[in-house]
Structure formats: structure tokens, C-alpha cells
A and B are shown apart, each in its own frame.
Chain A
Amino acid sequence: MSTPVGSAPQAPVEVSIRGIGAWAIGTPDWATLRAVARGEAGPAADALKKAAPALLPPNERRRAPDSVLLALAVAQAACDAAQADPAVTPSIFASMNGDLAITDAICRTLSEAPTDMSPTRFHNSVHNAAAGYWTIGVGSHAPSTALSAYAATFAQGLLEAAMQLDAGAPQVLLVAYDSFATGPLGKVSISEGLLGFAMVLEREDQQEHRGHGRCRSLKLSLHPGAAPALPPGALADLAGRNAMAPALVFIDALANERPLCELPAGQDLVMRVELIHG
């Protein structure tokens, strides 16, 4: 085989974290999730079982699936923390499965009485449902995308966020989330509980935006290989069986101010994330 002529391995891409949002059952915000990750507190025992994003009016909140409520809650929290205007911030929704409880319900309907399909359930079933509800809810005409990469979903979402910044967007919103699977599908495709994590990210050169609070930076690079598994601990106990569990490695590194973490990024591909804790 000839020697590949591709360019040299890529230099790390640098981005800054401007704001964070998080939600899991028992940890309804980033401060609580961070405390759990640091072993300083446990998840709340009498926790809410679903998120309640303030931007949706109550009737919309009843119609929207749990996965959408989760995604919107963390998206809003991240924008609030960053003091970012969601109406002009491009958004990236990364979810391995979208909403398998809806898939369960739709496939059940199709096997019994296909013509009884609910139109609301159908439009809620698209992978970009959360992106749609978000852009409608905040009145955003900015680009929005929805992606999946199986266990590499979080890393690929992070990569796309960095790419949009590199292509000129001053800030982007990354929303990573997955919800529970139900029914016969839930016995094959395992995902439990709710885990949502969002960040408003900005380009490293956006110095003028800095100045309030600690600013954390990330250096991202891709390498052949496999990422280590999520170690046992409080975060694994909290959401280790959720489809977005690979994000817990990053959440752990962020919360515990570790200098480095490695995320699954695909077949024979790992994303190395260097964290600079401001």
C-alpha cells in the first residue's frame, strides 16, 4: 500500500466553555451534578422525574416528550449561565437515540392499527424534535442540527460545535441528551433515566467576552484507538445506563478539574480533550 499523502495529523482545536447546563434525575442543575461528581453530595432522593423547561408554555410542556423537555431545560440553563442570546446562537443537538419511548409507542401502533397513528407523536418522533421545539421556543432562525454517532455521539457533537466555531460562529450551543427506552425495544436497546448536558462554547479568540467567572478551555484532538470505559463511581451510579453515559467521562473531568479525558469518537477513534481550568 502506498503511503497516505494526507496532511499532517491535525493540531488541537481550542474552544472555551461559556456556560453549562445539566439535568439528571436527582441532579436538576450543573451545581448539583458537579457536587455529585466530586463526591460532595448525593443526588436528591425526592427528585423530579422529568425536566420542566420554563420556555415552554404549560400546554406545550404537556405535549412535548420527556426527551425534549430534558434537552430544552439544559439548553436554556447553559444559555442563561453564558448570558448568551439563544435567538442568534446556532445549536447542535446530539442524542444517540432521540426518544426510544416514542419509537416503542409508534411501532406498537403500527403493529396493531397503523391508521391510528397520532400526528403529534409522529412529529415528535423525528430525531430533530428537540431542535425544532428549541428554535420555535426561543424564536431562533440560526442554524440548528441533530446528530447521532452511537457511543461516539457526545464526541461527535463536540467536534461539530468546534467546527462551527472554526467556520466563524462566535458562539454555539451544544446539547447532549438521551432518555429511557420502554417496552420490548427497551429490552434490546438499553437506556435508562434521563441525562442532559449542554454547553455554550465560544472561540478561543473571543477575548472580549471574558471577564466574569472562571473560563474553562478545551483542546480537542482525534487519535486512532479506543477510549477507556467509564469508571465505577457516583456518576456511573447516577446515569451509567443512559445512552449518553459516554458524556459522563467528560462531566467527571470537568467537575473534578482533571487535565485530560478521552472520549469514544467512533470505530478505532478517540477524542482527547485537554481541559484548562481557568
Chain B
Amino acid sequence: MTPLAITARTATTACGRGVGALREAIAARRSGLRPNDFSTTPLATWIGRVDGLENLPLPAPFSGWECRNNRLAWLALQQDGMLGRVQATSERYGAHRIAIVIGTSTSSIGATEEAYARLDGDQHFPADLQRPIVHTVHSLGDFLQAATGLRGPCVTLATACSSSAKVFAQAARLIQSGIVDAALVGGVDTLCGSVLFGFNSLGLISADPCRPFDAARNGLSLGEAGGFALLERDGDGPWLRGYGESSDAHHMSSPHPEGLGARLAMLAALQRSGLEPEVIDYINLHGTATPKNDEIEAGAIAALFPATTSASSTKAWTGHTLGAAGIVESVIALDSMVTGLVPGSLNCEHPDAACGPQLRRENAHRDVRVAMNNSFGFGGNNCSLVFGAERGS
């Protein structure tokens, strides 16, 4: 594919607001996870919660979109100068020439949950939650249009945990077809009862901080996050060099036993980038710390990449941020090109036997020119992205 410039990027996670906070937490090996203090019904697990959202109502003009998820979207948009960059880009190209392609898994379902907790005697929603827009998945995209003033195509992509990786692919198609000149991509997902008790019902959450790729890992830690990137045809880079999308065709909530979908996504991303596995310096893995995901992903990495590739999961810092995982971990991979700091897999003491030499436990310094990000979701929905410091030939 013709590479696209990533002219701005940001992420807000349990590690703090903006790329700087994430960078510092990674360098200091300081996890953002804490014991679950979110759900009113006790649930023994650790979570990656973003501080302060309770005290950050949306500005009055946006009160129609009020909910935790859109608060996090608004907070994330304020970091690293992202909103200003979006507005400058809008003035440059015109608001109708910029798309919004945004990912989420549950969007603002937390508002729907709250409405059910506060039903009146006649089983009606409380007046302040009788707003259809916050009870549908496009709540996020619609809010972002209001918040940014962008008027190009605006779509919310919801393929569970691959959502905000796939936004890069969909936006790239819109730009390359000439429909738009730029796109705001990203993802926002917030903690809510649905995901805490849903993943609990599947037996996939750990009572301890998650341990990606550790032989004794026993489940994931959920987190919330918001992040964005701006894609344009030209710029200083870094560059989106390739994307690969695939389906497992196996099971709704369990990965393909041989990692077939994961391999197909990685190979398609490499093929589209025109790059060989040998040039991949760093892979930010999906690495949820569920027994199956990590075993299968580790096997696929060991089979496809040389020992010179470094690979790690950063979910022990942020938790699994679901529909925001793709953007958060893409931002981390992109930041490794700037800092030369490659995160190791925090909380991985004894790597699983399936791990090859690519899996790194400790942080390391190395030159990162090409990086990859993997995001795999429910329904066997997979996406891999390839980023390059250079535009390439």
C-alpha cells in the first residue's frame, strides 16, 4: 500500500493522561492496575481505571452525549495537542474532507446500565438518561463529530478487541480512494458492568494483576482507555505501512487453536507493507494473559519471526482496554520508534514454554525502525498493523 503519515497521536490510560505519562510508566515499570474499585457488586480482580473521569463532566454544548465513555473521549482528545491538530487539519482540508473512524466494544453502554439501576416505579429510564444516542454504539462517533466539527464520513467500528486496530485499515481505504484527505482514527472504551461481569462469566479474568505470557498466567485484567491518531497522505511520519485483517472461523470467544487467523492477519499486514518479517524490530502483542490467547499468539510469533524481533505485551500496564487496545498499543509501538525504549512484558516472570526468543521480559533499548501491533477480538476477528519510521520506497 501507499504509506500514510501519522501526523499526531495520543493515548490516555490507567497510566495517566497523554503519551508522556504512558512513556514514563513503561520506563519505570510502573503498572497502572489497581484492585477493582469500580463495580458496586464486589468482583475480585484488578483494573486499569482512568482517574478523575467522575469529576470531568462534558462541556455544556455536549451535554446530550454525557456519559463516562464520551468523557474519556473528550479527556483523551485534550492531550498531546490532539484537538488543536485536528482543528488545524480541518481548516487545511475542509471539515468535509476528513473522516472519523473510531473503534469501541461497548461504547457508552455504561449509561444504559445506569438507567437500569435507576429505573422508576413504572420501569422507565430516569429523565437524564432518556437520550437514545448514548444507548447505541455510535454514541462515540457522533460525539466526536460534535466535539471536533469534522463533517466527513463518520463511522464507529465495533469488532470487540480488534476495533481500534481495524480503524487504521478502514481509514486508509477512505484516504486512498480519495473520499477524504485525512482521518481521525482511534478508540475509546470504558469500564462497565457488562465487560467486568461478562468476562467473569467466561472465566477469563484474573484475581491478580495480569501476567501476559507467564507460564502461570490465569486471566486478564480489564482496563479503560482512549486514544487517537491523525492519518494524512503526507507528513513527516511515522508511517502506516500495512494492515492485515482476517477471521478465525473457529469460535465466538476462543481463538483458533493453531492461531490461523492471527497468522493470516500478520502475513497480510506484512504483504501489504512489502516488508519481510526480518525487518520487524518490535511487535506489541495482543497478549491478554488468558491461557489460550498467549499460548497461541506466542506460537505464531515464534513461527513467523526471527530471534532479532522483540515482542511483548503491555497489558500489565494498562489492562486489556478492549476496543481501545488497538490504538493504545499502536501508540506504544510508535513511541518506541521515538524513544528507542522497547517495553518488556511486565509481570512475566517465567515465560510460557510456547514463547520463542522474541518474547522480552525486560525493557530494552534498541533502534526501532519498523514495528507491528496485533489486536485480536471476539468472533475470531483479527487485525495486524505495520508501522515504519520511514516512508519506504
Interface residues in chain A, defined as those with a beta carbon under 8 Å from any beta carbon in chain B: 1-2, 4-7, 10-11, 13, 96-98, 100, 103, 106-111, 114-115, 117-119, 122-129, 131-133, 135-136, 138-150, 152-153, 156, 159-160, 162-164, 166-167, 183-185, 187-190, 222, 224, 265-269
Contact = CB atoms under 8 A, between A and B. Distances in A.
A124 B251 CA distance: 12
B245 A145 contact: yes
Contact of A147 (B132, B157, B194): B157
A185 B131 CA distance: 10
B39 interface: yes
17 contacts: A107-B115, A111-B116, A115-B41, A119-B203, A128-B381, A135-B247, A135-B248, A136-B248, A141-B246, A147-B157, A149-B156, A162-B177, A164-B173, A184-B125, A185-B112, A190-B132, A266-B154
Contact of B132 (A111, A139, A143, A189): A189
Contacts of B253: 119, 123
A268 B198 CA distance: 37
A136 B158 contact: no
Given A118-B201, A156-B155, A189-B135, A135 B249 contact: yes
Contact of B151 (A111, A148, A268): A268
B298 to A, nearest CB: 21
A136 B251 contact: yes
Given A110-B194, A145-B159, A146-B159, 16 more contacts: A6-B94, A111-B113, A111-B116, A117-B201, A119-B201, A128-B378, A131-B379, A148-B137, A148-B156, A150-B136, A152-B154, A159-B179, A185-B116, A189-B136, A222-B96, A266-B152
B159 A131 contact: yes
B158 A128 contact: yes
Size category of the B interface is 35 or more
B249 A139 contact: yes
Contacts of A11: 178
B278 interface: no
Given A132-B381, A148-B155, A222-B179, A188 B94 contact: no
Contacts of B249: 135-136, 138-141
A97 B157 contact: no
Nearest to B382: A143
A214 B48 CA distance: 55
Given A110-B197, A122-B198, A132-B378, A150 B116 contact: no
Interface stretch (B15-23, B138-146, B212-220, B313-321): B138-146
Nearest to A164: B173
Contacts of A139: 249
Contact of A163 (B135, B170, B247): B170
A63 to B, nearest CB: 10
A152 B133 CA distance: 13
B355 interface: no
Contact of A265 (B105, B153, B379): B153
B250 interface: yes
B137 A267 contact: no
Contacts of B380: 132, 135-136
Contacts of A190: 132
A183 B113 CA distance: 13
Contacts of A128: 158-160, 377-379, 381
The 10 closest A-B pairs by CB, nearest first: A132-B379, A4-B94, A127-B158, A143-B245, A122-B198, A163-B173, A6-B97, A6-B93, A135-B247, A107-B116
B124 interface: yes
Given A4-B97, A126-B379, A148 B41 contact: no
Contacts of A125: 194, 198
A124 B247 CA distance: 17
Nearest to B196: A114
A4 B173 contact: no
A126 B123 contact: no
Among B124, B166, B177, B193, the one with the most A-chain Cβ atoms within 10 Å of its Cβ is B177
Contact of B155 (A10, A142, A149, A166): A149
A115 B124 contact: no
Contacts of A156: 153-155
Contact of B124 (A135, A140, A163, A187): A187
Contacts of A160: 155, 170, 173
Interface string B38-78: 01010100000000000000000000000000000000000
B92 A148 contact: no
Interface in B176-234: 176-179, 181, 193-194, 196-203
A123 B202 contact: yes
B109 interface: yes
B194 A106 contact: yes
A6 B252 CA distance: 42
B153 A269 contact: yes
B354 interface: no
Quick one: which of B146, B159, B193 has the most chain A CB within 10 A? B159
A267 B145 contact: yes
Nearest to A109: B197
A184 B137 contact: no
Contacts of B152: 222, 266, 269
Nearest to B93: A6
Interface in B231-276: 245-253, 260-261, 264
Contact of A141 (B113, B125, B173, B248): B248
B153 A159 contact: yes
